[in-house]
Structure 1
Amino acid sequence: MRIATFNVNGIRAAQRRGFEDWLGDRGPDVVALQEVRARAESIPPGVFGDYHLTYDEGDVAGRNGVAVLTRQAPVAVRTWSGTALMRAPGEMHTDSVELDPEPLARGLGEFANQGRYVEVDLAEAPITVASMYLPKGGLPAHLQKPGRMREAPDGGARYDRKMRFLSAFARQLTRSRRTARARGRELLLMGDLNIAHTRSDVRNWRRSNQAEGFLPEEREWFDSILSPRTLVDVVRRQHPGVEGPYSWWSWLGQSFVNDIGWRIDYHLATPQLARAAVTAGTDRDPAADRRMSDHAPVVVDYDF
C-alpha cells in the first residue's frame, strides 16, 4: 500500500505545476494533503482524479485546509470542527456534512475550526489515517530582534499559540492512538508538523538553533510523542544516521538547488505499521523551475 503526504501550498497552484501528473504517475493508495487553501466551490474540477475526497477546509479563507484522498470511501471520518466535505470521484457538490461529535482534548477548541486536522478509517486496511497541518509559530519574545526578522515582532504571540497547540494536541494524539487500538486499527499521523526534530533534519542546524521550527522546546515536544511503543518516525527509521531526506526548501535564493532544506513533513506510525514500511523517501522535484510546492511529497510503501 503506497501512502503519501504532501503540503501542496494551494491546490490550484499545485495543479498548474503538475500535481495531477504526479498523482497519476505515483499512484498512491492514500494521500494526506495540507494547505489545500480552497473553498469547496474553488477546488479545480477533476484535480483529484478517481479518488474519494475527505476535506476540512477551515474557516479562514485562503489558508490551511487538510484532506485525505482514498481509493475507497472511508469507513468513518472525524474532524475537530465536526464537519467535512466528502466527495466520491466525479462529484462536485460543495456541502459539508455534520459528523458524529468527537471529544476534543482540553485547549484544542481555539483551533477546531481552522482546517488543521482530519482523520479517516480506511476501508481497505485496518488503519486510521490522519492529515494534520501544525501552526508554523514564531519566536519567543526574548529572541525577537527588530530589523532581523522578516515579520514584525509580535511579543511572542505566534510562539505562545504554537506552544498551546502542541500541549493540547499531545493529549488529543494519545486519545486518537488509544481509540484506534481499541478499534483494532493502526494509527498513521501524516502532515506538515512545522518542526524539524533533530540535527539531521535541518541542513544548517547550527544557524537554526534560534529559529522557529527548531527551537529546543519544540524538539523536546517532538521527543515526547515518539517512542518504540507509541509512534515511530517511519522515514527516519528507514534512513537512520543520514541528513534528510528533506521535504521543504525556501523559494528564496538557491536553497532548492543546493539542497538547503528542512525535514518537517512526516509519517508517524504505530509500531506494527512502522515495521511494515518497505521504502520511504521524498519525491524531490527534478528542477527548481518544476517544483509543485515549496514542500515535496513524502511517500512510503507499506507491506501491511
Structure 2
Amino acid sequence: MRIASYNVNGIRAAQRRGFEQWLATRNPDVVALQEVRAQHADIPDGVYGDYHVAYEEGGIKGRNGVAVLTRHAPSAVRTWSGDVRLNGELVPTEPMTLARGMREFAHEGRYVEVDLADAPLTVASLYLPKGGLPVHLQRPGRMREAPDGGVKYERKMRFLDSFARQLSRSRRTASANGREFLLMGDLNIGHTRYDLTNWRTSKNSEGFLPEEREWIGAQMSPRTLVDVVRTLHPETDGPYSWWSWMGQAFDKNVGWRIDYHLATPKLARTASAAWVDREPSRDVRISDHAPVVVDYDF
C-alpha cells in the first residue's frame, strides 16, 4: 500500500504546475493533502482523477483545507467541525468528541480522518499552525513579519496542548475499533538536528524552538506513534520536504523536514521504503513542499 502526504500550497496553483501528472505517475493508494486553500466550488474539475475525496475546507476562505484521497469510498469520515465533503457533496459525519481547547480550532480546516474501506486503518491529514516567536525573541528589524507580541506563538502552544489530547483520543479510538492509525501532514516542526540544514542557527526560530521539539518528541514512542521516515532513514540529514522559494534554498537543498508519517507501531513495522518526491529543479516545483511517500506492506 503506497501512501503519500503532500502540502500542495494551493490546489489550483499545484494543478497548473503539474499535480495531476504527479498523482497519475506516482499512483498512491492513499494521499493526505494539506493547504488545499480552496472552497469546493473553486477546485478544478478532474484534479483528483478517480479518487474518492474527503475534504474539510474550513471556514477561512483561501486558507488551510485538508483532504484524504482514497481508491475506495471510506467507510467513515470524521472532522472536528462536523462539516465535510465527500466527492463534493456535504455529508453527515460521525461526531467527534473534542478534547479541551480544541473547539477554538475546529472550523479552520486543519484536520480530517477517514476509515479505509479496504484495510483496517484510520488515516488522518493534519495542517498544524506555523506559529511564531515568543515575545522575548522578537526583535524588530530581524524578523520577516512585524512583531506581534507573541500572539501567534501563544496560539500555536494552545493548539499543541489541545491536539496532544485529541491525537491520543483518535489513536485509542482506532485501536478500540481494531484499526491501526496513521497521522500525516505538515506539522511545521523540525524534531532533531537531522530535520533541517541550518539547525545550529535555527534554535531560536519558529518550528525549531525547544518547546516545539519537546512536544513532537512526546507524541512518539515505541508503544504509541512512530516517525516512519526517520526510522527508515536514521541519523541522516533529511530527507527534507520543504524549501523556501527564496534564493537558492532548493538548488542547494537547504531545507526542513516538517512533513511526517506518524504510525502506530504495528503499521510502522510494515514500512518497506520511504522517500520524498523532490523535483529535479526549482523551475518545475509544484509546491514549496514535496510529497512524502511510504510503501507499507500492510
Q: What TM-score does the superposition give when structure 2 sets the normalisation length?
A: 0.99
Aligned residue for 1:25?
A: 25
Partner of 2:171: 177
Contact 2:76 2:94 in 1 (8 A): no
Q: How many Å separate the matches in 1 of 2:38 and 2:44?
A: 9
Aligned to 2:58: 58
What corresponds to 2:46 in structure 1? Answer: 46
Tell me the equivalent position of 2:242: 248
Superposed CA offset, 1:150-179 (max 9, x none) = 111000000000000000000001101110
Are residue 236 (structure 1) and residue 215 (structure 2) matched?
Answer: no
Secondary structure of the residue aligned to 2:201 is helix
| TM superposition outliers: structure 1 runs of 4+ over 3 Å | none
Compute the RMSD of aligned alpha carbons.
0.6
Provide the secondary structure at the position in 2 that maps to 1:14: helix
Alignment counterpart, residue 108 of structure 2, candidates 97, 114, 128: 114
The corresponding residue for 1:261 is: 255
- Show the counterpart of 1:90: none
Q: Secondary structure at the match of 2:14?
A: helix
Q: Which residue of 2 aligns with 1:194?
A: 188
Q: Distance in 1 between matches of 2:172 and 2:159?
A: 20
The AA in structure 2 aligned to 1:6 is Y
Indicate yes or no: 2:134 matched with 1:140. Answer: yes
Aligned length: 298
In the alignment, which residue of structure 2 is the partner of 1:15?
A: 15
Q: CA deviation at 1:303?
A: 0.3
Match of 1:158 in 2: 152
Unaligned 5+ residue runs, structure 1?
Answer: 88-92
What residue number does 1:215 align with? 209
Q: Distance in 2 between matches of 1:252 and 1:83?
A: 36
Q: Work out the percentage of aligned pairs sharing the same amino acid.
A: 71
Distance, in Å, in 2 between the alignment partners of 1:100 and 1:293 is 32
Residue 265 of structure 1 and its aligned partner are, at CA, apart by: 0.1
Distance 1:30 1:79 in 2: 18
Residue 53 of structure 1 aligns with an amino acid whose one-letter code is V
1:206 aligns with 2:231: no
**Structure 1, residues 11-48: CA drift from partner, whole Å, max 9, x if none?**
00000000000000000000000000000000000000
2:187 partner letter: L
Give the match's secondary structure for 2:218.
helix
